[in-house]
Structure 1
C-alpha cells in the first residue's frame, strides 16, 4: 500500500474517532486491554542476573488463566518488555511436559513466599489476600521480549524466571 494511501486512512480513522467523541460518545469501545487492573511488581532472573522489578498489569481471562503485560516502569511511555501467563497448577501440570515445566515455569506460591512480590492494586486488605491466595495456586511462564539494555526488541524471545525458582535450582544468586 502506498504511503499516501496509508496516511489518508489514518487521517480518516482519526477524524472518525474524533467525530464519535464529539457526538457525545466519549468512551472508547471495549477492547482486549480492558480489565488489566491488577498491578504487582517482582524482579526476574535473566541469564543468572536479577533484573527489575517489573510492573505486571494483569487480568484473569478465565478461571484457570491470568495474563499479564509487563513494563519496566509506570511511566506512560514505559517499554513493554515481557508477557506472563499464570495458569492454575492443576491445568499447567497436566498439560505442560515435565521437562518444560521444570525449566521454564515457576511456582507462584514459592515466589510469593520469598517476599519479593509487591501488590500495588488492589489495595483493600481482603482483596489483596484473595488475590495472593488465587495467584499462589498458579504456575507462571514469562516470555521476555525486549533484551535487557537493548535499544529495541531484536526478535529474540527468552524465558525469564522468578528469583525464588532460580535460587531453588541454582542456589543463591551471586554465590
Structure 2
C-alpha cells in the first residue's frame, strides 16, 4: 500500500475542488438537558478558540457514515458518522457522532486496523473486532460529499479491514430519538454482513438525506469483490437474523478451511 499522504491525496484534492451539494444535514435526534450557555461561557469558548490549539482533532477529517448494530443486541441499530484520522497505513482512529452538524452528539469511538494487524492480535482479542467487507460491498458505508471516484479509492483501501467500536451514547434507536444522555455501560458495536440485517428504514432515511443511492454504490463496487478475503466475525449475527441472505463476496473465514489454514 502507498503511504497515508499519497493514498488520501485524491480525496483531499476532490474535497477541495468539489462542493457538497444536495445533502440534507443530519441533525442529532436528542439534545442533552441543561441550561442555555451564558455570556460568560461563550466568552470563555471564544478565548479558548483564540489561545488554545486543537492539534489532536485537526486531521480527523475523513468523514464516513454507516450503521452499527450492538453485538449483544443487534436490534439496537444506529447511524454513525465517523470522523477519522489515518495514523499510518494499518491504523486509523475515529470519533463517532450521531450527525454532521456542530450540534452532533459524540456517541463513541472506533479504531480501524488492516487485515495484517488483525492477524497479529491474540485470539481472544479478535472477538472485539468486526469485519468491514459487508459494509463496503453492500454500499452501506458512504463518504458523503466526495466524488464517487474518490470514495471508491477510500473503500478500496478499507477492504479486508476490521473495526473495534464502542458506543457510549444511544442517542438514536433506529430512526427514532434515543437516550437524552449517555446512560449505562458502553456497548460493543458490530457490523452488518448480510442483506436483511440492517433496518431498511434506517438505510432509506440515510440515503434520502445524503442524496446517495446505496444500491447504486453497491453496483459500482462490484470490482472490489475480487479483493475481498474471508473475514472473521461475518457469521456472528447470523442467529439473530435467520432470514438474512449472504452478500456476494462476503464470507466468514471459519467457513473457508483453506483460507483458515493459510492464516
Instruction: Tell me which interval the TM-score lies in, with the shorter structure as reference length.
Output: 0.7 to 0.9
Aligned mates of 2:154, 2:80 — CA distance in 1: 18
Unaligned ranges ≥5, structure 1: 1-9, 22-27
Q: 1:40 to 1:15 in 2, by over 3 A?
A: closer
Paired residue for 2:94?
68
1:113 matched to 2:137: yes
Contact 1:44 1:52 in 2 (8 A): yes
1:173 matched to 2:199: no
Q: 1:137 to 1:151 in 2, by over 3 A?
A: same
Aligned mates of 1:80, 1:17 — CA distance in 2: 20
After superposition, the C-alpha distances for 1:85-142 in whole angstroms (9 at most, x for unaligned) are 1111111220x222331x3212222321122112214x13332222111111421111
Would you identify which runs of 4 or more consecutive aligned residues in structure 1 move more than 3 Å? 10-18, 172-175
SS of the equivalent of 1:77 reads coil
Contact 2:132 2:162 in 1 (8 A): yes
> Would you say how many aligned residue pairs link Structure 1 and Structure 2?
156
Q: From 77, 80, 100, give the equivalent of 1:51.
A: 77
Q: 1:50 to 1:136 in 2, by over 3 A?
A: farther
Contact 2:165 2:190 in 1 (8 A): yes
Between structures 1 and 2, the one with greater strand share? 1
After superposition, the C-alpha distances for 1:142-166 in whole angstroms (9 at most, x for unaligned) are 1111145333223611211112287
Q: 1:30 to 1:80 in 2, by over 3 A?
A: closer
Contact 2:84 2:92 in 1 (8 A): yes
SS of the equivalent of 1:98 reads coil
TM-score (norm 1): 0.74
Q: From 109, 114, 138, give the equivalent of 2:161.
A: 138
Aligned mates of 2:95, 2:64 — CA distance in 1: 11
Most deviating of 82-91 and 123-132: 123-132
After superposition, the C-alpha distances for 1:52-84 in whole angstroms (9 at most, x for unaligned) are 221111120122111111111123111111101
Aligned mates of 1:69, 1:15 — CA distance in 2: 23
SS of the equivalent of 1:112 reads helix
- Provide the aligned C-alpha RMSD in A: 2.9
TM-score (norm 2): 0.51
Paired residue for 1:39?
63
SS of the equivalent of 1:92 reads helix
SS of the equivalent of 2:102 reads coil
